[in-house]
Structure 1
């Protein structure tokens, strides 16, 4: 079956593309808005806004995943897109910092509910196994390309317009996404494996707590968040204040990190055919620790120039991809098919919980105590996460699976023979779960 011959999938994929690139522009614009309102304290403002996002993602996403099979999904997705469009459209008119926090709270509440609902729709639209595999791959390409292309588009746009127009583009993207969803037929959701909503919300967390390799994933989430916070939170102030760059330069520096992510993502599928996920992800953790230490050392020595910053940011982006991309494979291999949404929703919340810890450190501590101390703390957290993952995730993954299966029969399938569908499904889920953009 030809994937794009499926009308409903074609519409949903188009909606995903448009919304992704719109929110990529908003990521850049929000940082510049914070700089306009707060100047040297922009990192603290941005950290607060992103902390609000993380709190809402941690709280709302599991509840949305728990109740999604009880809602009219098509109408729900349209409503959430309209809410997001209205909120983003209001951001250019903000004159006080507190107004950013209120609007970001509304925006991220809608996004936290939208993501798990949208994820659950695709397998109901694309029912053919081979076509579903291609759908997952296509979606992952979209996520990966957005991290590189959106900052570049923002950099080009900022060369002849102010950043406020980027919010207008994001709002238009959400409206277009809503119209495309409106034109799509979305079937009713299938019942969850759990009858009670609380059981659904807690089931994935319990699986993480009792599965050694998933506890390792939780530790790796901290590594990703510690290194990634340097890029997400501190780039605006560093480029504008330390390097004397322009708004467009901020976007290009984000693009450097996206380039590192893209290059790793393109190379990893073949690597993962030959090397176990644990080895790849532990290597990614080492790369991220090295990236944070490089940023810290070069900054303390006054050597973090344009070129050095771009290279360091690209290294961090590459290390993040090495951890994020294989994560879904590990999750998918840990549970039965009807429990997949639970562990994906749990990873979505747990990964954002790690960002909830690191965002305030990068922003608030960075503003009040300087980058040297801040990046020292983040480097220590990255190192602690890497060490924790190494000891929590046994090298003998087969033994881990056997142990878990014995304790919880019918829950854990074999992990040593992933099919192509499972691989692609995992890659997409990882990209969705670990997404650190505005939506």
Structure 2
């Protein structure tokens, strides 16, 4: 099945790309706004805003999953895009730093509800397993392209406009994303097996805790966050302070990691047709541990040069793609179809909980104790996650069936395979 021959998927993918680039431009503009308001304290302002973002992601995603089956999903997605557009439109009007925190909290709360809901829609639209694998790769490619191109687009735009105009463009992007979703036939979520909101919110977390492969995914989330925090948080200080590079050099070094992620994500669909997701993800964890270990050894010895940094950063990008890209396939194979929103919301929340742990290590510890100390701690966390993952997700569990707690809800799907897609129990073989 040709992925982009599916009309509804084309619309949703276009909406995702537009919203992603809007978010990227907002990130650049927010940094300039923070500097405009706080000057030398801009880093503290951005760090606090980033913490607010992670807290919203951890808390809101499970709650969104609890109520997603009570609302038409298309209406919910359009509403959340509209809220994000309105919040971004208000950002250039702020006059106090605390205004930024409030608006970022609202923006990220909407994003925390939007993203897992959006992710859970895709397997209901793309029901062919091979095409769904390519949809996961396409999402990873889109995210990577955003991280590579958004700073470039912002730099070009800032040559002929002030940074507050970037917010206007971003707001328009969110509204265009809403229109694309509105033009898409989005199936409503299947009724959850849980009736109480708290049970629904906690259901995805409980599924992760009792399912071996999902426990392994939680450990792999820590590996990704530990290695990724080095790139996301410390690139600017390492390039500017240690290597004496310019602002553009920071962007190019970030692009090195993004290029590794992009090329790997493009190659993975064919690999995942032949190789089990567990094997690919464990390989990614090994690459990330090797990357963080090399970063620690080289920076401690004063040998992390331009070339060495580029190689290590690229390796980290490759490892992140190897772990992240197959995750959706594993989630889809691990739960009944009516539990997919809960599973995606739980993964969204748990993965960002790992980032909430590693961001302060990279940022605050890196500032107070130095990069070698901070990276050593992150390397230990990455190693711990990589060691725990195969223990929590043993090889014999790679081809298990849907957890028994949801097995009863799988049965109806077997009778509606022509309209609802493959049975999750059969899909588990692909993971």
Greater mean deviation of Cα atoms: 219-228 or 141-150: 141-150
Is 1:147 the counterpart of 2:159? The answer is no
Structure with bigger RCO (C-alpha 8 Å, 6+ apart): 1
Conserved 8 A contact 1:65-1:117? yes
Cα pair distance change 1:25/1:3, threshold 3 Å? same
Q: Quick one: distance in 2 between partners of 1:305 and 1:37?
A: 35
1:220-278 CA-partner distances (Å, limit 9, x unpaired):
11000111111112223333343344443333222211111112112223333333322
Q: Could you say which residue in structure 1 is the equivalent of 2:340? A: 340
Q: Could you say which residue in structure 2 is the equivalent of 1:428? A: none
Is 1:313 the counterpart of 2:313? The answer is yes
Q: Could you say which residue in structure 2 is the equivalent of 1:413? A: 425
Residues 86-235 of structure 1: pairs in structure 2 closer than 5 A = 86-92=86-92, 97-122=97-122, 126=125, 129-130=127-128, 134=131, 137-138=134-135, 140-155=137-152, 157-158=154-155, 161=159, 165-184=165-184, 186=186, 188-235=188-235
Q: Could you say which residue in structure 2 is the equivalent of 1:54? A: 54
Q: Quick one: distance in 1 between partners of 2:371 and 2:101?
A: 24
Q: Quick one: distance in 1 between partners of 2:62 and 2:114?
A: 11
Conserved 8 A contact 2:334-2:403? no
The TM-score, its normalising length taken from structure 1, stands at 0.82
Q: Quick one: distance in 1 between partners of 2:7 and 2:270?
A: 31
1:148-175 CA-partner distances (Å, limit 9, x unpaired):
3542352354156366554443222112
Q: Could you say which residue in structure 1 is the equivalent of 2:417? A: none
Cα pair distance change 1:291/1:263, threshold 3 Å? same
Q: Could you say which residue in structure 1 is the equivalent of 2:76? A: 76
Conserved 8 A contact 1:154-1:166? no
Conserved 8 A contact 2:334-2:428? no
State the Cα distance separating 1:321 from its structure 2 match: 0.9
1:36-80 CA-partner distances (Å, limit 9, x unpaired):
766776655444322211211111111111101212444433332
1:352-408 CA-partner distances (Å, limit 9, x unpaired):
11111111211222222221211111111111111111322212225x727x85787
1:280-334 CA-partner distances (Å, limit 9, x unpaired):
2222111111111222222223333333222221111110111112222322222
Conserved 8 A contact 1:85-1:172? yes
The TM-score, its normalising length taken from structure 2, stands at 0.84
Conserved 8 A contact 2:231-2:254? yes
Q: Quick one: distance in 2 between partners of 1:213 and 1:186?
A: 29
Is 1:401 the counterpart of 2:413? The answer is no
Q: Runs of 5+ in structure 1 lacking a partner?
A: 424-439
Cα pair distance change 1:202/1:234, threshold 3 Å? same
1:116-150 CA-partner distances (Å, limit 9, x unpaired):
333344456x4x745x9647734641441341354
Q: SS state of the match for residue 115, structure 1?
A: helix
Cα pair distance change 1:339/1:313, threshold 3 Å? same
Q: Could you say which residue in structure 2 is the equivalent of 1:254? A: 254
Cα pair distance change 1:152/1:75, threshold 3 Å? closer
Conserved 8 A contact 1:44-1:360? no
1:3-34 CA-partner distances (Å, limit 9, x unpaired):
76766554433222211222233344445655
Q: SS state of the match for residue 396, structure 1?
A: helix
Cα pair distance change 1:272/1:149, threshold 3 Å? same
Conserved 8 A contact 1:41-1:367? no
Q: Quick one: distance in 2 between partners of 1:269 and 1:275?
A: 10
Q: Could you say which residue in structure 2 is the equivalent of 1:272? A: 272
Aligned residue pairs: how many? 414
Q: Quick one: distance in 2 between partners of 1:341 and 1:212?
A: 19
Q: Runs of 5+ in structure 2 lacking a partner?
A: 411-423
